[in-house]
Amino acid sequence: MARVSAQDVILEILRDADGEWAGKTKLYKAFYFAHLYYANDRPGLLTDWPIARMPQGPGIDKGDTLLAELVRDGFMTVEHFHDGPYPENRYRLTDKGRQAGGLPDDARCAIEKATIFCQDKTAAQLSQITHESSRSWNQARDGEILDIHIDTIPDDEYETRKAELARLDGLLSTVLGDG
């Protein structure tokens, strides 16, 4: 069961970044990494908001809707600017958004780790990391919802689990008469 809302995670990322965050791709990656840090420390989900395969790596499914709700409800603003010649977004907390969300310590810790991990990297660097390391992203097609928990399992354990599932699937097929 999820512990916090997706909106709370976004607001906590901004709080950890002194109230502002530049770049939608970086924000999406911080959200994804917060979920991984949370999963590494305990079973369960940080939020129940889906993370989807996007061309630049894992991202917030229907993220524009989520961000628009935060703006509509007065928790943050979005400023459009150019990073060189390219348009980009800067997300800023409002006074309402600065108020602590009362998150559990384990959630706040995971979000803080993700914020620190992402802050000094470019969107391209974060995308490259996910392209190289995200098993769920590499196995999916654009738009598909990711099972990000397979990203936190060591390779040898993942291969063992995959082989065991294939063996069990074969047994089930035999029992059901499909094979």
Q: What are phi and psi of 19, to 5 degrees?
A: 95, -5
Q: What SS3 state is found at 122?
A: coil
Global pTM? Answer: 0.88
Quick: pLDDT tens for 46-90: 999 999 999 999 999 999 999 999 999 999 999 999 988 999 999
Could you tell me which of 8, 49, 13, 23 has the C-alpha nearest to residue 124? 23
Pairwise CA distance, residues 123 & 135, whole Å: 19
pLDDT at 177: 78
Quick: pLDDT tens for 35-52: 999 999 988 889 999 999
Pairwise CA distance, residues 17 & 1, whole Å: 27
Quick: pLDDT tens for 97-154: 998 778 999 999 999 999 999 999 999 999 999 999 999 999 999 999 999 989 988 8
Longest dimension (CA), the chain: 63
Q: What are phi and psi of 169, to 5 degrees?
A: -65, -40
Write down the domain spans for the chain. Answer: 6-152
Pairwise CA distance, residues 60 & 176, whole Å: 39
